[in-house]
Structure formats: structure tokens, C-alpha cells
Amino acid sequence: MSWITKYNPLASSNDMVGKLLRLKKSQSENNFNQDDMELNIEEDHLDDNEIRMIKGVFRLDRMIVREIMIPRVDIISASTNVKLKTLSELMLDSGHSKIPIYTNEIDDIKGIVYARDVLGLLLKDTASINKKIEETLIRPALFVPETKILDELLTQFQQEQVHIAIVMDEYGGVSGIVTIEDLLEEIVGEIEDEFDSVDPDIEKIDSNMFIIDGKTSLDQVNELLSIDIEGDGFDTLGGLVYQRLGKIPSVGDDISIGNLNVEVKETVGRRVKKLIVKFV
């Protein structure tokens, strides 16, 4: 019997997380590896979305929170001193339904306010729109380290029934946030419409130049380019570039790795999305 369960791309986050956890459990219990995955994909005649999700699940234990989080500079947050009117406008303008709330500065996160809780309060008491955020509105925040494995984060989101976490650096400061949507995007990828094409992980431009997805494993890069890059503790090319740069990656940043020049072509938040790799 196949270990792969078909999924609905429009399923809720909770349903999706549950299915992914069952898939990971099946993988672990049956000792499936990459070769087994490829064989099952062939036998099950899966579509592109299903194949992408399954490959994403296998990447979970090779990536850490720091590689997918929304960086500190991009966090939409609010002070405990703001009025509900201001907070409501912030939610509407940003499109975010969960806002981190801090006391004096962003490193003093008090908790998270959910849009549905704000709406519920306003429906009961419209006058509260001009009042400060009530303590009862602020839910406890989940704090995770930058180095947390995505596999573990997925499980923690499911166990604690939350969809957002505050990411802490090694010094105890806030370095970003990570949401269930960020995590699911790493697994499932953005759902393309029927006219979109799926970008390959490694696109060959010519014999000396390639465009490579930041999530591509170093093993895959080494194999396809016939090279031997050391990971320095990172399993993906994007993670290695992030570490070597020593700062938040920007488009145009480049580094040398052996006989390669690696340039950042595209970023998403703090994560390297696409890289231009050239032999020199």
C-alpha cells in the first residue's frame, strides 16, 4: 500500500499540517529514504503539486527557522499603548491577521493579538475602538530559536495549535517571526494556476552559468555540477550563502565558493530564493 496520501491544495492550514505530520511519521516508521520516495512517486502517478509537497517534506529536517523567517526589519507589530482603532487599521493595511504586541520595544514581545479576537470585542462593545489594547486580547506568544529544525517547528505548531512564532537570536533578541504559511510554502510551494510553469531547482543557462533555487540541497548541487562544496553546517545552497555573507542577503550580493561565483538573484524576506552560479 502506498505511503503517500493525496492532498487538497485548498485545505485549511490545520488539515495540511495534520497530513504532513502523518506523512513524516510514515516516512520515519517505514525508514523511507530519497530513493524510496522517487519509486513511490513513479508508482503513484502523482501530479506536480503532490510531488513538490513530498519533496518538501523530505527537506524539513535539513532546514532551520532562520532560512525561512520574516526578518526583524519586516515585522509588522504594535505597542501595548496603541488604541484598537490604530491596531485595526494596521491589520487592514498590512493584511496580517496576527500582530505581535510589545511593551517598550520589539525585543519586549508581550504576546500576539488576533484579528478575530479584535472583531469579537468590537461586536460586543463598539466604544472599545478608542481604547487601548485590553490584556485579555493579548495571547501568549510562542518563542523559538533561529536554529530550530523546520521538522520540529511543524510538530510544535500542531501540538500548541498556533500559527505564528517569535524567532529569537542567540543573544535573546527578536530576529524575526515565522508563520505556518511560511512553513507550508517551503513544503508545498506557491500554488500556481493552470497557466503558470514550475521553475526547476537548477536551470542551466550555458555550460558555465546556472540559476539555482536557494532551497536546493548541496548534495544535489554537487552532483549536478560535479563539484564538492562543504556545507559548514548548512544543507542548502541558500543557507550556506546566508552564512558566508554574514548579513541579511540582498540582491547583487556575491561570494566565491571554490571555483564558483555565487550571486544573489532574488530574495524573500531574509531568505535567499534564487542564485546565479558561475564557474570562474
| 84 lies in some domain | no
If one compares 167 and 200, the residue with the highest pLDDT of the two is 167
pLDDT number for residue 183: 84
What is the chain's mean pLDDT, rounded?
81
**Domain carrying residue 210:** 202-279
| 273 lies in some domain | yes
Which of 25-34, 44-53, 78-87 is predicted with the least confidence, judged by mean pLDDT? 25-34
pTM for this prediction = 0.61
| 251 lies in some domain | yes
Q: Specify the number of domains making up the chain.
A: 1
| 65 lies in some domain | no
Smallest CA-to-CA distance from 186 within 66, 276, 277, 98 is with: 66
CATH number of the domain enclosing 215: 3.30.465.10
pLDDT number for residue 58: 72
Q: What percent of the chain has pLDDT over 90?
A: 39
Average pLDDT score over residue span 10-24: 56
| 224 lies in some domain | yes
pLDDT number for residue 17: 58
| 266 lies in some domain | yes
| 253 lies in some domain | yes
| 242 lies in some domain | yes
